[in-house]
């Protein structure tokens, strides 16, 4: 899985992230999504899955403030962010016993995933790996998300998007697909949002 800092690319969002102190240009994707699609307020609790290098955790901390809580999980060590709790774990290997580490943050108002597999260039294989990551996110969502909470997941357009769209529609009252302006035009990525868990 990968979500790396992409300072090397030198585009406007990369330069802006360096200037404003964000760890990756992807911070602006989340800022736009929170501005237009998801209400995140002071005092809320957020879980950032696949958090390295921490750009999304930075944005989440800004939004929830000192009254709120942010927990971040990744297999790659992440440099500390003030008031953000970091748990070093593989998302794909998470078990319910691991949730004891973040029980004081429960339930979460928002679960984030900007994860993507290491791309092979083989479409079917990449989609399969992305769906595996989505299933890991859904395992967490089913266990830890507040009834009125939301989930935001990055997927690839195509099979993984169709799969995730259907999976969220069975769980949430509202589902929307959104591609931020800061997502590169030639990128196959898009984002899907689920809001308000259906009561079974």
H/E segment holding residue 73 = strand 69-74
User: Looking at residue 63, what is its pLDDT?
Assistant: 98
Tens of pLDDT along 163-193? Answer: 999 999 999 999 999 999 888 878 899 999 9
User: Looking at residue 21, what is its pLDDT?
Assistant: 66
What is the share, in percent, of the chain residues with pLDDT greater than 70?
Answer: 92
Cβ atoms of residues 168 and 152 within 8 Å: no
Q: How confident is the model at residue 6 (pLDDT cuts 50, 70, 90)?
A: very low
In sequence order, the β-bridge partners of residue 176 are 193
Round to whole Å and give the CA distance between 89 and 125.
Answer: 24
Where does 29-197 sit in CATH, by number? Answer: 3.40.50.150
Q: How confident is the model at residue 123 (pLDDT cuts 50, 70, 90)?
A: confident
User: Looking at residue 24, what is its pLDDT?
Assistant: 87
Query: Domain segments of the chain: what residues?
Result: 29-197
198 catalytic per annotation: no
Structure tokens at 137: 């996110």
Tens of pLDDT along 65-97? Answer: 999 999 999 999 999 999 999 999 999 999 999
Tens of pLDDT along 18-75? Answer: 766 688 889 999 999 999 999 999 999 999 999 999 999 999 999 999 999 999 999 9
Q: Is the dihedral of CA 178, 161, 111, 29 positive or negative?
A: negative
- The 10 Å Cβ neighbour count of residue 141 is 24
Tens of pLDDT along 96-105? Answer: 999 999 999 9
- Point out the catalytic residue in the list 29, 69, 154, 195: 154
């Amino acid at each position: 899985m990968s979500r790396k800092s992409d300072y090397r690319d030198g585009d406007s969002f990369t330069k802006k992230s360096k200037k404003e102190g964000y760890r990756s240009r992807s911070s602006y994707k989340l800022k736009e999504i929170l501005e237009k699609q998801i209400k995140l307020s002071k005092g809320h609790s957020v879980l950032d899955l696949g958090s390295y290098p921490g750009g999304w955790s930075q944005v989440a901390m800004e939004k929830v403030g000192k009254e709120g809580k942010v927990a971040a999980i990744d297999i790659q060590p992440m440099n500390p962010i003030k008031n953000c709790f970091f748990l070093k774990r593989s998302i794909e290997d998470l078990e319910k016993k691991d949730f004891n580490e973040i029980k004081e943050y429960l339930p979460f108002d928002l679960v984030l995933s900007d994860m993507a597999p290491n791309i092979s260039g083989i479409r079917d294989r990449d989609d399969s790996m992305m769906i595996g990551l989505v299933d890991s996110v859904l395992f967490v969502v089913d266990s830890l998300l507040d009834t009125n909470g939301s989930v935001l997941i990055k997927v690839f357009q195509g099979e993984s998007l169709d799969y995730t769209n259907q999976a969220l529609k069975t769980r949430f009252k509202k589902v929307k697909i959104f591609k931020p302006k800061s997502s590169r035009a030639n990128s196959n990525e898009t984002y899907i949002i689920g809001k308000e868990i259906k009561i079974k």
